[in-house]
Each structure stands twice: as structure tokens, then as C-alpha cells.
Chain A
């Protein structure tokens, strides 16, 4: 079997073995003790390219992508419009097959786009500095909490109960490492003390709603001497006031909505930005602007002394490889949508979600579970268990929402974005009416 990815022929190998001074390749593995040498492993037989395409297409065919149906599912991963220029740019192998830009002279493409990304995240969040990205919104939140603990020397992390449950879980996992305690508090019953390093909130929260009085919350957090961490939906920042304007010390978020497909949960993108004073405690890579001897503008990884390859066990984080190509997708997305486009996307989400909510709430048996300001997601109390409702919707060719009945009785978390047409929304309403009518 000749693999198209291995150029050397038998003749090449013979010549090289001779130059090395051995008779066979076996001699090169002599350091492996005999007891550990293995025979052939149990993997399926090798496939040629056409066979491979057939196999994988068949596997893909056993899935039902939500793009093929009206979909109202959110809950931390979202179907938003991805302009074609995004895949065009990230498909360039000069971006995709490069690695960490340790040699800046031949990595200006990567480095300059990271600088762009950092700039855009700062503008979006109204914060002073941003890093080159983290694995996802959940781990970005976890690292923000660890950073707050390191800065303050305090050992407890506070989270609002309305932060995405999966994000809460990741914070707990990371907190376990450093022996930090995690306290989850309901928004109307804060119990912050001088032991809390931070309070983290999500805007809009897991159920789609904004905090009614975020200023009061910010005052309470800072009065307790804790850091105020906000996890924000970046699409919402096209319309709503950014956390930097209401006192956030650190802003994190899930960047998947910015130009990345759903991809069954990954790879996604963690956004991370903070105030200038915390720059040296910020994890992740940072790119800075500088110049060469001829005065040409260039970009380099900078303040690297925070990172693992220099500070090792005293590093701000162990993060090395992160999500560069996904961050590039976000950069192209934000450059393509621009000042006007992001606002338009946000407004479309807002209007369509409110239209859907209004129409559904008027159906007998359905009601909005929460009061207040929501963006693109809301929770409906349904006349039947949401699992039943979703099943019935799927039979009608509609992907329903997320079953949140463990938090809200018969609660269904519905998401409406700019990708849902009025037609789709009307169909959803009709279907829900039929389902609710006891069918």
C-alpha cells in the first residue's frame, strides 16, 4: 500500500538507511525493549480516497443537520448567518496549515489577524485589552474566575445561578484544580462576602434574559471587593450596551456565533477581555504591534512571560494551542458584517424572537415563563412536557427548543435568529397550537 502522504519510496529509504549506517529500519527502533514491541493493531483496513469519501458521506447521511429544517434550538450554540467570505479566508492553507507564530518574520499573516481580532473584541466589549482567544466560552469563564482568585488571593468563586449550566460545570472542574470553592447564587439573593474573588454573570442569561438592574449588581460586587465578570453573547453586543460600560472587570463569551458553524459542539471560541490593570494576569496569547529596523509595522507575540513556555509552573495558565483559525473566522465575520451588519443581525434576532414570543404566548396553554428584557431566546411554559412538544414538532419537520423543565415547569427554551424566516416562525406557532390543542 502506498500512501499519497508519504513521498519516500523504497529506493529513497534504502539510500537514507545507508547514509545513516544501518541495514534496516528495525535497527532504528532498537531502544524499544522487545517486551513492548507489538504486532499489527486492530484497525479497519485502509481506504482509498473514493472509498473514504463514500464512508464519511454515509456517516454524515445518518445525521439530520438542523440547516435542513426550521430550527429553534439555542442553549449555548447558535445558528447564525455565516458570510461566504469567511470560509474563503479560513480555507487559505497559508492560514490553516501554519502553526504558532514563533517566527514573526514569516507569520505576519497570522499575527496581524490576531491583532485585528483583539481590537475587535475590545471594541465589541468596551474593554481595554483582549487576548488571542481561548478554547470556548465555558473555559474562558473558568479561566477568568481563576484569574480573579489569583489577583485577589481569595478562595471562593461566586456565579449567578442563571449562568449556562455547562459553563458552571466547567468552572467547577477548573476550580477543583486549585481547591477553590464555587458558590452559585440566585440573582435576587446575593450572598457575597469578603471571601469571594469574583461574581460571574451571563448577559443575556441561560434563559435569554438580561439582568433588570445590572448597575446595582456591579455596585454590590465591587463593594465586596470582588471582580465583576460578565459572560456576554457577542451577537447581542451589536445592539445592547457592552459590559465595559457597566463596570465589568473581565468580559468573556462564546464566539461560535461569529462565523463558525454548529459543528456538533466544536471547535468553538472563547472570547476574553479585561481592564488594563489586569493585563499581566490575563491568560492566553497576546499580540502587540511593533516595527522592524526599516520602520515597517509588524506584529509579535508579546508579554510572553505570563505564559507556560517561559514561566512554566508559575504561568497564568497552561494554555498553548488555542483556537486561532476559529478566531480568524470571527475576525473575518466581524470585518464583513462591520458596523452596520452586526447591528442589523442583532435587531433581526430581537424582532423575530419577540414576534415569535408574542404569537406563542397568545396560544392557549402557553405562557412566557419570565418577565423582563430578552434578546434572541426566551422560555415558554408549555401545556405538555417539552419533550413531548419537541417530539411532535420533529414529526412535523421542525427542530424545537431546549427542554429546560428541570429549571422551569414544562419550560421550553426557544431561540430565534436572523436565520429564521417569518414563514418558519408562523409554522412553529401553528404546530404549537395544534400540539397544545391536545392533539
Chain B
């Protein structure tokens, strides 16, 4: 049996394949009460097929897996509209304080006034930052925040007898969650084109805008990293037609301390704590997606919101609340980190974040534009979108460029999004990257551009130095294997 690749085949052995019957990784005290009769066997399970490992094996296994991951703590991670900024370590320490982790959501409110104070202040500061009127911290992620916001709009319109507004407008550059959210709320989705400047095409908007439109969902700056200077006019257009303006706040990092959604005419906005507010991404969560609304929508916020009465902090249900969106109050463990972040930044720090985020992205733009096609030739905000079209003409696709970046030690940017840019490369550096890191990244992309010219194979066959090569995604989808199963025979 060959030992080369197989020995490195970590993926072939799961916890189920390790260990031995009888090994344990835990210790529990014996039962200290008289045992009750167990129910009849017909109600009990006959076997439980979980691993049996020693603690040593378990720790080594998971640590070996962790080493296969690239993360923000490993290096530059410029995913567009994800704001992969550094996650301050002090936040981990604070979020793990027993005075926070040990709180049961249903214990008497008098015993959790510190937690409620934290949430109350965070609600207030998100209102201050966004220039709206009231916040709920309940939604579990950006997508759930969107769902909450769109449901609130739906309920608000229904109360006004305007159920006839059955359509939601979404720009062609929108993140997929936007139309998916609108559909989950029972709206028909209509796409509005972007113009040649990358802004919402106001002609297209005007033709799509009639009395059947409930709202326009806009990301600002948009997914091209561009700020639409006509935002005020767009808000006016919508409001004149009785429609509402929903804000996807994913890109708030560009506007912190500089501009507020409320001032620009947004009616309701969701925010992403795991993007703008530095909470860790966790490999795909947990995030947190608070919703902030103008006064006319505030009564529809999900329950509960944190309020104050004479005695202290309380949990309240807004008078026309759309109801609960989760079992309890939101991702408190994530909110603690966001709170700590805002206490660290203060008002002055907000501007530093947006200033540096925008400078960094424009620097990347300046360094890469000689080699990569810039579809929208203007200043970007906190992220920049290039097209790999020049390289494709040489036979090398954005996908290949992304894989080759891995060999240079970087996580690739977002690719093939937004959909309106061909062979898109969407780069968001964030403010927590140094000039040297940006230079190294740009140098790598320029080198890859040269490789595309001179030795395209090395790009097309990348990555060469990752823990594993390109994976067969077609077979994974055609003949899905989605769980471990015990091998029959010796499994060779």
C-alpha cells in the first residue's frame, strides 16, 4: 500500500474511524440519586453510533483539522462585502466572562440588569450610528435581519390597507439574500438595472416604480463598492410613490462616522455585527443582524426590545410587533463583542475605521488597475471590483487567478460576484490591514497577471501548495455523500 498521498489523507478518517470501543474522552460523576425505572425498551434507542475516542485523540484530530484552515489570523482575507477585519482578542475574553455566559434567558430580570444595560446601550448606539430611531437586536444574522425588515414593511403596508404593493425592487448587483428574502416574504422580485457608472439607473427605477411597489432594497455603498450620490433623490422617488427604502447595511464599514442611513432617507436598515462590528466570522457564523428603523416602522420591530422603566431595564414588545424571530433575544454572546468594540472605538474611532478602510481599498485600486480591468472607472469606497476579462482573453479565468493566489499565501477575494461584472474579483481589504500586506497582495496579483501571459499552466493548475488540490465538485453534486457511513469490508 502506497504511503505517500494516503498518509496525508486526513479527510479519509473521521472521528468515527478513530478510537476504539471503550475509549472515553469525558468524565462524569456517578449517579448520586436512587435510580428510577427506565421506560420499556420499545421506547428507548437500541444503539447510538457516536465515536469512542480518548481525549488525546480528539484534541489531536481537531487541531490537525484547524491547521488546514486559512483564517483572518493566518493572513489577508479580502472577501468582498464580508469585512474580514481583525477580531480583537480582548473581546473573546470578555464574551466568556461567567457573568455573561452563565445567564439563563428566562431567569428573573432583576438578576440580569447588567446584560440588559449592555443591550440597551448597544440599541442606542446603533440608532446613533445609523441616524434612525429604534433598534432590535433579535435577528440572528444579516439574512434574518433582512427578513425581519421586509416583514416589518409588509406588516406596515398591510395596516395601511396597501396589500396591493406586492413587488420589491432589487438592483442587479444585489447579494442573493436580498431577492431570496423578498420571496420568503411573499413579494414578487423585480430587478432594477445599474447604469454605466455603477449607480442605480434612475430611468429604470422610475419605470419600475408604480403603486404596486412596496420597497427598494439597496446596499450602500453597493456591492461594486460604489456610493450612489443620487441616494437622496432615489429615496424621494420612492417615498413620493408611497414605497419604502430598505437598507442592506453590510457595507457600513465605508460610512462609519461619515454618513447615516437615516439622513439619506432609508426607512429601515439591517446591520451585520460580524462584518462592521468586528465579531468573529466563526467559519460561517454565529453572526448577528440587528434591525434599526425609523419611527413609523418602530412599532413593528420584533420582540423583545430592551426598554427602561422606573425600576430598571425591561424586555418589551413593540405595539405592532411582527413577533418573535428567534427563541430568545438575539445572539447576546456576539453582541457583547460588538458592544466592547464600540466602547473601544468611541466616536473618533468610527472615522478612523472608515477612513482607513476607504484608503486601503483605493490604494489596491491604484496598484492593480494597470493590469486588471476596472469596469467602473471611479473612486471606490471600502471595496473595489475588478474584472478578470483581460486575463481571460489569455485563457486564464478569475477562478484560476483565485486558486493561484492561494499559492502566494493569500485567501482569494470574492469571485464571480456581483453578477453584473464579468469574471468579477471583489476585494475588500478592511482597515486592519497594513500597507505592506496590501503591497504583498497586489504584487502577487501582478505576478499572476504576468504568469497568465508567460506560463498560464501554472495558474490554471493552481493551487499547488494548499493542503489539497482542486476538488471534484461535479461528482459531489451528482452523487452526494453527505454523511459518514460504516464501510463494509476492509475499505481499501
- Are A339 and B48 in contact, CB atoms less than 8 angstroms apart? yes
- B residues less than 8 Å from A342 (CB atoms): 48, 50
Asked if A35 is at the interface of the complex by the 8 Å CB criterion, the answer is yes
- Are A324 and B65 in contact, CB atoms less than 8 angstroms apart? no
User: Which of A8, A20, A110, A355 has the most chain B CB within a 10 Å cutoff?
Assistant: A8
Asked if A193 is at the interface of the complex by the 8 Å CB criterion, the answer is no
Contact of A106 among B26, B186, B348, B406 (CB under 8 A): B406
- Are B58 and A336 in contact, CB atoms less than 8 angstroms apart? yes
- B residues less than 8 Å from A328 (CB atoms): 282-283
Which residue of chain A is the closest to B485 with respect to CB atoms?
A119
- Are A49 and B259 in contact, CB atoms less than 8 angstroms apart? no
- Are B343 and A44 in contact, CB atoms less than 8 angstroms apart? yes
Asked if B481 is at the interface of the complex by the 8 Å CB criterion, the answer is yes
CA distance A98 to B107 in the complex (A): 34
Asked if B180 is at the interface of the complex by the 8 Å CB criterion, the answer is yes
Within 8 A of A (CB), among B122-168: 125, 128-129, 131, 140-144, 146-147, 150-151, 154-155
Asked if B444 is at the interface of the complex by the 8 Å CB criterion, the answer is no
Asked if A5 is at the interface of the complex by the 8 Å CB criterion, the answer is yes
Asked if B366 is at the interface of the complex by the 8 Å CB criterion, the answer is yes
- Are A132 and B284 in contact, CB atoms less than 8 angstroms apart? yes
Contact of A41 among B302, B347, B476 (CB under 8 A): B347
- A residues less than 8 Å from B350 (CB atoms): 41, 43
- Are B332 and A8 in contact, CB atoms less than 8 angstroms apart? no
Within 8 A of B (CB), among A276-326: 279, 285-300, 302-305, 307-315, 317-326
- Are B92 and A91 in contact, CB atoms less than 8 angstroms apart? yes
- A residues less than 8 Å from B240 (CB atoms): none
Spot the interface stretch: A51-59, A218-226, A361-369, A430-438: A51-59
CA distance A146 to B38 in the complex (A): 37
Extra inter-chain contacts (20) besides given A335-B53, A341-B24, CB under 8 Å: A28-B362, A31-B226, A38-B259, A56-B340, A77-B328, A96-B71, A96-B92, A99-B79, A104-B471, A122-B483, A137-B327, A170-B325, A176-B154, A262-B102, A266-B332, A290-B472, A303-B477, A313-B182, A339-B51, A351-B34
Given that A99-B77, A113-B65, A318-B184 are contacting pairs, would A63 and B258 also be in contact in the complex, using a CB cutoff of 8 Å?
no
- Are B44 and A239 in contact, CB atoms less than 8 angstroms apart? yes
Asked if B489 is at the interface of the complex by the 8 Å CB criterion, the answer is no
Chain B: how many interface residues by the 8 Å CB criterion? 205
CA distance A28 to B111 in the complex (A): 48
User: Which of B62, B144, B351, B362 has the most chain A CB within a 10 Å cutoff?
Assistant: B62
Nearest 6 pairs of A and B residues by beta carbon: A60-B99, A65-B102, A265-B328, A46-B346, A62-B114, A297-B11
Asked if B209 is at the interface of the complex by the 8 Å CB criterion, the answer is no
Asked if A42 is at the interface of the complex by the 8 Å CB criterion, the answer is yes
User: Which of A60, A305, A321, A337 has the most chain B CB within a 10 Å cutoff?
Assistant: A321
Contact of B471 among A83, A94, A292 (CB under 8 A): A292
- B residues less than 8 Å from A268 (CB atoms): 327-328
Q: Tally of A-B residue pairs with Cβ under 8 A?
A: 687
- Are B93 and A290 in contact, CB atoms less than 8 angstroms apart? no
- Are A339 and B412 in contact, CB atoms less than 8 angstroms apart? no
Asked if B355 is at the interface of the complex by the 8 Å CB criterion, the answer is yes
- Are B411 and A300 in contact, CB atoms less than 8 angstroms apart? no
- A residues less than 8 Å from B331 (CB atoms): 266-267
Contact pattern, B 379-407, Cβ under 8 Å of A = 1, otherwise 0: 10100000000000000000000110010
Asked if A123 is at the interface of the complex by the 8 Å CB criterion, the answer is yes
Asked if A156 is at the interface of the complex by the 8 Å CB criterion, the answer is no
- A residues less than 8 Å from B477 (CB atoms): 288, 302-305
Asked if B466 is at the interface of the complex by the 8 Å CB criterion, the answer is yes
Which residue of chain B is the closest to A180 with respect to CB atoms?
B186
Asked if A186 is at the interface of the complex by the 8 Å CB criterion, the answer is no
Shortest CB–CB separation between residue B95 and chain A, in angstroms?
9
- Are B143 and A97 in contact, CB atoms less than 8 angstroms apart? no
Chain A: how many interface residues by the 8 Å CB criterion? 204
- Are A94 and B71 in contact, CB atoms less than 8 angstroms apart? yes
- A residues less than 8 Å from B258 (CB atoms): 29, 32, 37-38
CA distance A279 to B228 in the complex (A): 41
Asked if A405 is at the interface of the complex by the 8 Å CB criterion, the answer is no
- Are A373 and B39 in contact, CB atoms less than 8 angstroms apart? yes
CA distance A138 to B482 in the complex (A): 24
Contact pattern, A 112-146, Cβ under 8 Å of B = 1, otherwise 0: 11011011101110000110110111110000001
- Are A318 and B146 in contact, CB atoms less than 8 angstroms apart? yes
CA distance A121 to B355 in the complex (A): 45
Given that A263-B333, A267-B140 are contacting pairs, would A324 and B101 also be in contact in the complex, using a CB cutoff of 8 Å?
no
CA distance A106 to B96 in the complex (A): 28
- B residues less than 8 Å from A109 (CB atoms): 65-69, 283
- B residues less than 8 Å from A41 (CB atoms): 128-129, 257, 347, 350
- A residues less than 8 Å from B69 (CB atoms): 94-95, 98, 106-110
Given that A25-B355, A28-B359, A313-B180 are contacting pairs, would A321 and B284 also be in contact in the complex, using a CB cutoff of 8 Å?
yes
Cβ contacts A to B, 22 pairs, < 8 Å:
A1-B348, A31-B381, A32-B259, A63-B113, A85-B59, A105-B471, A106-B463, A138-B326, A166-B328, A261-B333, A265-B332, A289-B11, A289-B476, A293-B470, A299-B471, A318-B184, A322-B286, A328-B282, A336-B53, A348-B28, A351-B35, A373-B39
Asked if B203 is at the interface of the complex by the 8 Å CB criterion, the answer is no
Which residue of chain A is the closest to B22 with respect to CB atoms?
A340
- Are A298 and B468 in contact, CB atoms less than 8 angstroms apart? yes
- Are B466 and A106 in contact, CB atoms less than 8 angstroms apart? yes
Which residue of chain B is the closest to A142 with respect to CB atoms?
B325
- B residues less than 8 Å from A62 (CB atoms): 99, 113-114, 117
- B residues less than 8 Å from A79 (CB atoms): 104
Asked if A153 is at the interface of the complex by the 8 Å CB criterion, the answer is no
User: Which of B180, B260, B264 has the most chain A CB within a 10 Å cutoff?
Assistant: B180
CA distance A305 to B176 in the complex (A): 12
Shortest CB–CB separation between residue A179 and chain B, in angstroms?
5
- B residues less than 8 Å from A113 (CB atoms): 62, 65, 283
Asked if B443 is at the interface of the complex by the 8 Å CB criterion, the answer is no
CA distance A124 to B366 in the complex (A): 54
- Are B102 and A67 in contact, CB atoms less than 8 angstroms apart? yes
Asked if A151 is at the interface of the complex by the 8 Å CB criterion, the answer is no
User: Which of B144, B402, B433 has the most chain A CB within a 10 Å cutoff?
Assistant: B144
Asked if A350 is at the interface of the complex by the 8 Å CB criterion, the answer is yes
CA distance A136 to B327 in the complex (A): 7
